[in-house]
Amino acid sequence: MKIFPAIDIKDKKCVRLVKGNFDNKTEYEISPIDQAAKYKNHGFKNLHIVDLDGALAGETVNLNIIQDIVGKFDLKVEVGGGIRNLDSIQKYIDAGVEKVILGSAAIKEKNFLKEACQKFPNRIALGLDVKDGYLSVSGWKENSNQLISDYLKEVNDYGVSRLIYTDINRDGMKQSPNFEETLKIAEISNCPVIISGGVSSIDDIKKAKTLKNIEGIIVGKAIYDGDIKLDELARELN
């Protein structure tokens, strides 16, 4: 199982949000580049990056920082945040990113998702952010009124290479991920699923490793707040 330590970038700093709320954020002193170096030095091979400025602006605001991270550390990076057209995807692919995560734009416009999967085979990940069973969009500020199960049935054959399931109610709360709902999605998804949102302790990682159809897990706030030490997390890589 892959472990994805997370870097959320806002104003060129590492930040963490609670339930995706930009007004409830914690800034950390360390730069995204230095944080990536830390992960690399601990032996991590995968990295989850969200460009929060990009999510707000709808374009690739922090492309240069992400280029630097990919270029310096040879990490397999998945990146999301405000990617709303094929040009933005191309920029990230050119920068060496392994997977480009589509969220709101793919939910609002299924044809965009289909086109992206056709043009960039095996490079598109789908980020599904869910609150009480319904998909949320636009930085989690809007409920799409679409049930995740209904939406997934419609796009299941498009060729998405990875699905990232985030329970918004758990995100940044460190109350453990919603394993139950994630597993339900993994059962119907045609591609591997990543668990996201709410990781609180090393026990969550150990549990995730026992689950079927799960490709990996994203760990963010628990690292920054010291609830999970990078040394102990790195031991779970084997």
Strands 46-51 and 142-147: unpaired
Provide the 8-state DSSP code for 159: -
At 6, which helix (H) or strand (E)? strand 2-10
Query: How many residues in the chain?
Result: 238
Residue of 8, 167, 171, 204 with catalytic role: 8
- Known catalytic residue at 204: no
Residue with tokens 């109610």: 169
Residue of 51, 53, 129, 167 with catalytic role: 129
Nearest-angstrom CA–CA distance, 33 and 168: 27
The answer to whether 86 and 106 are in contact (CB under 8 A) is no
Q: How many other C-beta atoms are found inside a 10 Å radius of the C-beta of residue 91?
A: 18
- Known catalytic residue at 8: yes
Q: What is the CA radius of gyration of the chain?
A: 16
Nearest-angstrom CA–CA distance, 106 and 111: 8
Nearest-angstrom CA–CA distance, 103 and 164: 10
* Catalytic sites, residue numbers: 8, 129
